[in-house]
Homo-oligomer: A and B are copies of this chain.
Amino acid sequence: MSRTQLLEDPELRAFLPLLLVAWSDGDLEPSDRDALHAHVERMPWLRPAARLALASWLVPSSPPNAEEMAALRDALANVAGTLAPERRADLVSLGLSMAGDRADEDTKRALADLEAELGASSFATAALLRAAPAPTPTRTVTPSSFDVASARRLLDGPEVDIRERARAFLADPERRAYGLPVSDYRAKVTSWLSMLAKEGFGQYAYPGITTDRPDLGAFFATFETLAYGDLSLVVKLGVQFGLFGGSIYFLGTDAQRQKYLPAAARLELAGCFAMSEVGHGSDVQSLETEARWDAERRVFVVVTPSESARKDWIGGAAESARVATVFARLLAHGEDHGVHAFVVPIRDDAGTLKDGVRASDSGHKMGLNGVDNGRLWFDRVEVPEEALLARIAWMNADGRYESAIENPKHRFFTMLGTLVGGRVSVASGALSASKVALTIAIRYATTRRQFGPERGEELPLLAYPTHRRRLLPRLATAYVLSFAVASLQARFVAAQNAGKDGVPAETRDLEAAAAAIKAAASAHAVDTVAECRRACGGQGYLSVNRLPQIMDDVEVFTTFEGDNTVLLQLVAKGLLSGYKKRFDGVGFSTIVRHLMKKAHVVATEKNVIAVRRVDPEHLRDREFHLAAFRYREERLLETAALRLKKRIEKKHDAQATMLEVQEHLVALAWAHADRIALEAFDDALRGAKEAGTVDAATLAHLDTLGALHALTRIRDEAELFLSEGYVEPAKVSAIRKETTSLLDELAANAGAFVEAFGIPDACLAAPIAFMDPAHPRW
């Protein structure tokens, strides 16, 4: 029997105002409703069926949905509108009016009792609770201790020795600079980079050549840890050892590796990575720079054919680089073989530009002014045949072009695969920056006091819910992304170990994951750092407190190494081509069948209990979170595929079609990133539990952080989940309340959570991060 039919039952209509009150205020605890429910069951004069029906409206785990609430309000409004004002004066009259003439004496007495109680408190539920049993606690007990050391070990992962060495480098307060003239700042960053090279950090970039380690694990750990400090330094390090040296490592022959990499690792050969052109920022396939093959003399002539082909934003090109990996179209015998990489000397040892090479400074930037980004033009610069990085393509003895990869598109993407390691690092660096900001803001929020009760002590900022909501969900996301980044690093390392000569065997899936997590981590970082800045008020605006510089530096992480919007479209296209394989060559019926199967799955998952379950155990259950994240991704994938299929079959223009679904694709890619990040987090926690490396209380805290992250995301995407009926409105409301509970629980340990990041004090370097609550030093 549907609950809305209850509205028609004359025996129960007297109680409808009560139901409205019970659900309208939007703020009853489950325990309140338990009490009401119990109260109703103690009304023996009602028909059992009627009593059950009435009780059915008061089951905490089964709140009325939007339709039922609307029906209830309609019924009440209709009756109330017809009543004379004096009959609307109290709850008894109102209820009896609702019931018409049918209310019996028992009902009248019950209502009068209610009204009498209500008269005392003016609020129904509070009064009803008096006779009720004490509410049973629904929340699990908060684990008492968070073991910072073991959490830190878990976060640090396998390369802990490298991380500690990088931390030691950062622990020197001299590793910080702000407000300096650009030239001084650049000099400082260069000197820091030399120190790092001397300490051997550069060696880790070339497994098998300059280090015995088999993979980039140590280099990833270096980059991620150093990103706690000056971001100009870490970008400069990434350019020199990662992009420049990496291009030779991944695209060069053994001879080329041996020739350049030992010097590159020691910074004796300063290089740059000349890919981006001003006219083709994100569109590498359209690069214009040419390398024209002179078959007779067996040389390439590198040419910048137009102003839009100018290399721009090239880190190191303005001043420091002596040699550049130049990405240019290989033209031979009148044929364009697409973009290839060439090692081109641009300056001599004294820093004088080589003949035919022009360079200029890209100019003052929002941040990262310790990096000398520059522009390059090539006016017929001749380089020998060996300049071509020749692992996948070369000029043969006859002077003709040859490649190990026949398909030009495949060849192009293999070459782009060299960027994967960079994206892994950018993701980790952005995340580290967000952790520094979170640490400063949370330390400040636990010591800085503002407002408070009249004549009482002022409260620390973190006592305020709006402040918790600003910082803690972002802290939770930082934790989840930590494991996503670690998983990405591990996958890259595994691919290297499975490949040959340190070159990953197959990077397609890895590329998609790296693109998704790079976008997610950089978007998280710019949002988080800005929110931390704002959470520190005027203090956060002072450069001495580090947040401004981090904000300005990390901002471009959303743009470089692949603009996020562009990357996300690549991710989505990858997902779609996987989806397409499932349906290739099948007709309409197959699609319908798939929809039906899907509908069946959804119907099972979205059963009445699941869409309305509002108990904390369920809301905190990672299975619920994972299912919701997977549902969202699958749903967006499916609808994207259908939209595309329909348009293609209607013979829409392919370009127009891709534009029409562009936003849908970007939404899909975000959903994908969210899902793989949460899965990585889940894997890591399960792994730690099985290995017994982290105690149960600490794991429970991590679990709670994961729940906060997941519920925050589900609320962010409430439009989708509500529209699809995946959750009911009452469940969204319960999620909101549960989030508040999570924030309350986590706030107490916020300081410990950021301590586990292991950021050296010198990197926090902000006076506001070191306030003594008893004796604030402003």
Residue A486 CB within 8 A of the other chain:
no
Could you tell me if B73 and A602 are in contact, using CB atoms closer than 8 angstroms? yes
Could you tell me if B179 and A182 are in contact, using CB atoms closer than 8 angstroms? yes
The digit string for A58-90, where 1 denotes a CB below 8 A from any CB of B, is 000000011101100110111011000000111
Residue A466 CB within 8 A of the other chain:
yes
Q: A659-B464, A659-B465, A725-B69 are in contact. Are A544 and B646 (CB under 8 A)?
A: no
Residue A452 CB within 8 A of the other chain:
yes
How many angstroms between the C-alpha atoms of A199 and B65 in the bound complex? 65
**Which residues of chain B have C-beta atoms less than 8 A from A643's C-beta?**
25-27
Could you tell me if A655 and B452 are in contact, using CB atoms closer than 8 angstroms? yes
How many angstroms between the C-alpha atoms of A78 and B666 in the bound complex? 34
Instruction: Kindly provide the distance from the CB of A480 to the nearest chain B CB, expressed in whole angstroms.
Output: 22
**Which residues of chain B have C-beta atoms less than 8 A from A663's C-beta?**
465-466, 469, 740
Instruction: Kindly provide the distance from the CB of A166 to the nearest chain B CB, expressed in whole angstroms.
Output: 27
Instruction: Kindly provide the distance from the CB of A316 to the nearest chain B CB, expressed in whole angstroms.
Output: 15
Could you tell me if A639 and B465 are in contact, using CB atoms closer than 8 angstroms? no
Interface residues of A in 429-464 (CB under 8 A from B): 450-453, 456, 458, 463-464
**Which residues of chain B have C-beta atoms less than 8 A from A555's C-beta?**
530, 533, 541, 551
Residue A283 CB within 8 A of the other chain:
yes
How many angstroms between the C-alpha atoms of A382 and B94 in the bound complex? 69
Could you tell me if A589 and B89 are in contact, using CB atoms closer than 8 angstroms? yes
Interface centre among A179, A467, A526 (most CB of B within 10 A): A179
Q: A73-B602, A533-B555, A589-B90 are in contact. Are A362 and B542 (CB under 8 A)?
A: yes
Could you tell me if B26 and A599 are in contact, using CB atoms closer than 8 angstroms? no
Could you tell me if A286 and B776 are in contact, using CB atoms closer than 8 angstroms? no
Instruction: Kindly provide the distance from the CB of A457 to the nearest chain B CB, expressed in whole angstroms.
Output: 11
Interface residues of A in 448-507 (CB under 8 A from B): 450-453, 456, 458, 463-467, 469
- The size bracket of the interface on A is 35 or more
Interface residues of A in 668-683 (CB under 8 A from B): none
Could you tell me if B20 and A592 are in contact, using CB atoms closer than 8 angstroms? yes
**Which residues of chain B have C-beta atoms less than 8 A from A530's C-beta?**
526, 530, 555
Interface residues of A in 72-120 (CB under 8 A from B): 73-74, 76-78, 80-81, 88-91, 94, 118-119
How many angstroms between the C-alpha atoms of A600 and B83 in the bound complex? 13
Could you tell me if B70 and A67 are in contact, using CB atoms closer than 8 angstroms? no
Could you tell me if A363 and B282 are in contact, using CB atoms closer than 8 angstroms? no
Residue A312 CB within 8 A of the other chain:
yes
Residue A406 CB within 8 A of the other chain:
no
How many angstroms between the C-alpha atoms of A675 and B451 in the bound complex? 29
Residue A593 CB within 8 A of the other chain:
yes
**Which residues of chain B have C-beta atoms less than 8 A from A78's C-beta?**
600
Could you tell me if A596 and B76 are in contact, using CB atoms closer than 8 angstroms? yes
**Which residues of chain B have C-beta atoms less than 8 A from A602's C-beta?**
73
Could you tell me if B654 and A538 are in contact, using CB atoms closer than 8 angstroms? no
Residue A17 CB within 8 A of the other chain:
yes
Instruction: Kindly provide the distance from the CB of A21 to the nearest chain B CB, expressed in whole angstroms.
Output: 6
Interface residues of A in 340-396 (CB under 8 A from B): 362-367
**Which residues of chain B have C-beta atoms less than 8 A from A456's C-beta?**
655
**Which residues of chain B have C-beta atoms less than 8 A from A451's C-beta?**
282-283, 286
Could you tell me if B723 and A27 are in contact, using CB atoms closer than 8 angstroms? no
Residue A276 CB within 8 A of the other chain:
yes
The digit string for A573-611, where 1 denotes a CB below 8 A from any CB of B, is 000000000000001110111011101101100100000
Could you tell me if A596 and B80 are in contact, using CB atoms closer than 8 angstroms? yes
Q: A654-B453, A662-B464 are in contact. Are A587 and B119 (CB under 8 A)?
A: yes
How many angstroms between the C-alpha atoms of A597 and B77 in the bound complex? 7
Q: Tell me which of A201-209, A416-424, A559-567, A689-697 binds B.
A: A559-567
**Which residues of chain B have C-beta atoms less than 8 A from A124's C-beta?**
588
Q: A544-B363, A663-B465 are in contact. Are A308 and B776 (CB under 8 A)?
A: yes
The one of B24, B118, B363, B593 in contact with A588, judged by C-beta atoms closer than 8 angstroms, is B118
Could you tell me if A595 and B20 are in contact, using CB atoms closer than 8 angstroms? yes
Residue A269 CB within 8 A of the other chain:
no
**Which residues of chain B have C-beta atoms less than 8 A from A537's C-beta?**
281-282, 559, 563
Instruction: Kindly provide the distance from the CB of A433 to the nearest chain B CB, expressed in whole angstroms.
Output: 15
Q: A24-B595, A778-B310 are in contact. Are A565 and B121 (CB under 8 A)?
A: no
**Which residues of chain B have C-beta atoms less than 8 A from A94's C-beta?**
589, 592-593
How many angstroms between the C-alpha atoms of A364 and B310 in the bound complex? 35
Residue A335 CB within 8 A of the other chain:
no
Q: Which residue of B lies closest to A276 (CB)?
A: B538
How many angstroms between the C-alpha atoms of A538 and B560 in the bound complex? 7
**Which residues of chain B have C-beta atoms less than 8 A from A591's C-beta?**
122
Interface residues of A in 729-762 (CB under 8 A from B): 729, 732-733, 740
Residue A649 CB within 8 A of the other chain:
yes
Could you tell me if B718 and A729 are in contact, using CB atoms closer than 8 angstroms? no
Q: A366-B541, A589-B89, A732-B719 are in contact. Are A26 and B639 (CB under 8 A)?
A: yes
Residue A280 CB within 8 A of the other chain:
yes
**Which residues of chain B have C-beta atoms less than 8 A from A171's C-beta?**
none
Interface centre among A27, A94, A365, A543 (most CB of B within 10 A): A27
Residue A688 CB within 8 A of the other chain:
no
Residue A154 CB within 8 A of the other chain:
no
Interface centre among A366, A367, A602 (most CB of B within 10 A): A366
The digit string for A271-290, where 1 denotes a CB below 8 A from any CB of B, is 00000101111110010000
Could you tell me if B662 and A466 are in contact, using CB atoms closer than 8 angstroms? yes
Instruction: Kindly provide the distance from the CB of A662 to the nearest chain B CB, expressed in whole angstroms.
Output: 5
Interface centre among A26, A65, A279 (most CB of B within 10 A): A26
Instruction: Kindly provide the distance from the CB of A558 to the nearest chain B CB, expressed in whole angstroms.
Output: 6
Q: Which 8 A-B pairs have the closest CB atoms?
A: A366-B548, A66-B725, A77-B600, A73-B599, A723-B729, A718-B719, A364-B543, A722-B722
14 additional A-B residue pairs with CB within 8 Å, beyond A77-B596, A723-B729, A725-B729: A24-B642, A25-B642, A66-B723, A78-B600, A88-B589, A89-B589, A90-B589, A118-B587, A122-B588, A126-B649, A179-B364, A308-B776, A365-B541, A530-B530
